[in-house]
Amino acid sequence: MQQFYMDTNVFISSLKSDDPYHIESKVIARRLEDGEIQAETSVLTLVETASVASRLHQTAKHVKGEGKDRRRIFIIKTILKLVDLKIRFINIAGDTPIAVKKIQANLPIIFNDAIIMSLHTPLRTFDLMHLAAARHGKQMNSELGALVTGDGEFLSRKQELTNIIKMPVMSPQEYIEALGK
C-alpha cells in the first residue's frame, strides 16, 4: 500500500484549504516529498494541474507579475510543486487500430482503453482516462496498492471500479488510515 495511483484531485486538494480532503492530501504530499510513499499518475495530471492553476491564479497573492505573466508564473510554480512530489508519470505509448462498422482510426492506447471502460461504467472522459492509466499502472507495477481520489463519482462507485482496475479505490482519508499513520 506504500505505492498508489494518485488522481489529480488529490494534488489539487493539497493546495486548496477549503477542500474536504485538504488535510489528508497535504499529509500525502508531504509523505511523497519525504519518500515515505510513492505514487504514479497519468501524464493527464500535468494537463489538469495546468488547467486548474490557470483558473485559480487570481487567488494567488504571493505571485509577482501582472496579467498573463502572473498566470504563467503561477501555472509553472504549481506544476513544479507537483513534480517535487517525485511522482512517476504514466505515459502509455503507441496507437491501437479501432474498426467499428464504418469507423476506422488509430487511437492512442489510453483512448482505446477509456472507450472500452465506458462500456462498463458511465464516467466522464478524463475520469475514464485516469481509470485506464491506473489499470495500466497496476498491470506494470504489482506493488501499486490503490487508486486514491477525492472524486465523489469514483468514490460512489468504489466496488465497481475496484473490479475494473483490480485494486481498491480509496479517498485520501481512507488511504492515510490504511497506512496506519
Dihedral, CA of residue 2, residue 91, residue 166 and residue 177, to nearest 10: 30
Count other Cβ atoms within 10 Å, centred on residue 83: 12
How confident is the model over 16-35, as pLDDT tens digits? Answer: 999 999 999 999 999 999 99
> Residue 62: what pLDDT?
52
The Cα–Cα gap between 102 and 168 comes to 38
Binned at pLDDT 50, 70 and 90, residue 61 comes out as low
Tell me the longest C-alpha to C-alpha distance in the chain: 55
Q: Is the pLDDT of residue 89 over 80?
A: yes
pTM as predicted:
0.89
- The fold of the 3-179 domain, in CATH, is Rossmann fold (3.40.50)
Average predicted confidence (pLDDT) for the chain = 91
State percent of the chain over pLDDT 90: 77
* 117-170 pLDDT tens trace: 999 999 999 999 999 999 999 999 999 999 999 999 999 999 999 999 999 999
Tell me the C-alpha distance between 48 and 35, whole Å. Answer: 24
pLDDT band per the 50, 70, 90 thresholds, residue 56 = confident
The full set of domain ranges for the chain reads: 3-179
pLDDT at position 69: 79
Q: Is the pLDDT of residue 175 over 70?
A: yes
